[in-house]
Chain A
Amino acid sequence: MTTPPSPCHHAETTTLLWLYGEIDDQHAAHVASCPDCSEVARLHADVLSLAAPSLRETPEPLAGRPLVEVSKGGEGVSLGWTLGALAVAATVLLAIGVVWMGSVESPSEPAVVRAPHPSASEVARLLVEDARDLEAASFDDLEDLSDNLEELSDDLDWLEESLASL
């Protein structure tokens, strides 16, 4: 009943890496000349070309859903989760930042002197806003979103570093 393993040792290793763009095109010549690898390429192309468009053509109410809602209950969906986590992290950092500002700030020596501008609490506040904006954003351009997330993560890293160094 079970299919025997592919005789070509590339079929389920190198060829998959090549198909999904993780190694360079030199392997194409092997795939073209190898029946096992060609079959693997055909199988993956057919399944993805069939499955992906149907998933892409899901109705409007789905496409407009907020990111965080999209991720609920779905395993391994990291974007929504990441945004939620960033919002929480930013909120926590905002709280820390505010407490810290309150504790060290004095009229003669403003706390911001020790950190690059803007102040840590200001960045934390902006992060909370950014994270909320991103949560509300629709899922129409993943690259944009990734860029935003990266920026947000960088800001958070910076904020953590600034707070840690105080």
Chain B
Amino acid sequence: MQDPLTSLDTRIASYHDQLIAFLRKRVASDPEELAQEVWLRIHRAAPDLPDEAAFRAYMYTVARRLVIDRHRRQAARLELVSVDGQTLERLSQWTGGPDRDLEAREVLVVVTSTLEQMSPEMAQVFRWRVLEDVPFKVIAQRQGCPVNTALARMHRAVKKLSVALADAGLVREDP
């Protein structure tokens, strides 16, 4: 039997670069720090995954959750809060710089208009969960619906956003 720690060390050595590449596509800064967090979580959970494919899937799964977590926190700090007419008006007046800014603005426009086209309940779930970090249970209470309904609304909102971003040619490629 292989010592689990040794095994994890071996896997970190094998997969760290892949993990960094995965994270670099998805977070603007500190992919290294996030990777450390992924390894820490995997170490804590100590999954018994002798199969390499299963381990890789597990690693990406944990990484995805951390990516969501980070974006949720960062978004909550800033401006998605003001996804409304004012934001767009100001954005259109803003003379931004290079392509990245342009893409960011395109994404913002797509996200904003997609949210506006959704049912108010659906858009509200997305805003509360992503921007204000409101737990689904609380969202369900606020909307007077079962938690599963709030979850379904969130999922449909994300699916609609995904389709809209894909239609606009703004989605990323998966590794």
Q: Is the CB of B71 within 8 A of A53?
A: yes
Q: Mark A62-89, 1 if CB is under 8 A from B, else 0.
A: 1101000011111111110000000000
Q: Does A32 contact B (CB under 8 A)?
A: yes
CB A108 to nearest CB in B, in angstroms, measures 50
Would you call A45 and B68 a contact (CB within 8 A)? yes
Contact status of A28 and B72, CB under 8 A, knowing A47-B158, A55-B80? no
B79 to chain A, nearest CB (A): 4
For the complex formed, measure the closest distance between the CB of B112 and the CB atoms of chain A, giving whole angstroms.
9
Inter-chain contact total with CB atoms closer than 8 Å: 196
User: How many angstroms between the C-alpha atoms of A2 and B68 in the bound complex?
Assistant: 26
Interface-facing stretch out of A10-18, A109-117, A128-136: A10-18
Minimum CB–CB distance for B80 against chain A, Å: 4
| Inter-chain contact A16/B155, CB cutoff 8 Å | yes
Q: Is A91 an interface residue (CB 8 A)?
A: no
**How many angstroms between the C-alpha atoms of A19 and B162 in the bound complex?**
17
Contact B57 A38 (CB under 8 A): yes
| Given A25-B41, A38-B57: A51 in contact with B107 (beta carbons within 8 A) | yes
Query: Which residue, of A41, A54, A62, A140, has the highest number of chain B Cβ atoms within 10 A?
Result: A54
**Could you say which of A16, A38, A46, A141 contacts B77, with CB atoms under 8 Å apart?**
A141
Choose among A21, A43, A73 the residue that contacts B69 (Cβ–Cβ < 8 A): A21
Residues of A within 8 A of B19 (CB): none
Map CB proximity to A onto B23-66 as digits: 1 under 8 Å, 0 otherwise: 00111100000000000010011010100001001101110110
Contact yes or no, B129 A20, CB < 8 A? yes
Contact B62 A28 (CB under 8 A): yes
Among A20, A29, A55, contact of B111 (Cβ-Cβ < 8 Å): A55
Which of the candidate stretches B1-9, B10-18, B86-94 sits at the interface with the other chain?
A: B86-94
Which residues of the other chain, A, contact B76 by a CB distance below 8 angstroms?
A: 142
Smallest beta-carbon distance B98→chain A, Å: 12
Q: Is the CB of B111 within 8 A of A44?
A: no
- The answer to whether A25 touches B103 (Cβ under 8 A) is no
Say whether A50 faces chain B, with CB atoms less than 8 Å apart: yes
Complex Cα spacing A93 to B91, Å: 40
Q: Are A62 and B90 CB-contacts (below 8 A) given A43-B162, A56-B74? A: yes
Answer whether residue A166 sits at the interface, using C-beta atoms and an 8 A cutoff. no
Q: Does A61 contact B (CB under 8 A)?
A: yes
A56 to B80, alpha carbons, bound, how many Å?
7
Residue in contact with B128 in the complex, picked from A51, A63, A76, CB distance below 8 Å: A76
Asked if B104 contacts A54 (CB within 8 A), the reply is yes
B74 x A40 contact (CB < 8 A) = no
A interface residues (Cβ-Cβ under 8 A, vs B): 3, 12-13, 16-22, 25-26, 28-29, 31-33, 38, 40-59, 61-63, 65, 70-79, 139-142
A–B pairs, 15, beta carbons within 8 Å: A28-B62, A32-B58, A33-B54, A45-B26, A45-B67, A49-B27, A49-B172, A52-B72, A55-B79, A56-B28, A59-B96, A62-B90, A70-B82, A74-B81, A139-B81
5 A-B pairs with least C-beta separation = A52-B71, A54-B104, A54-B107, A32-B58, A45-B64
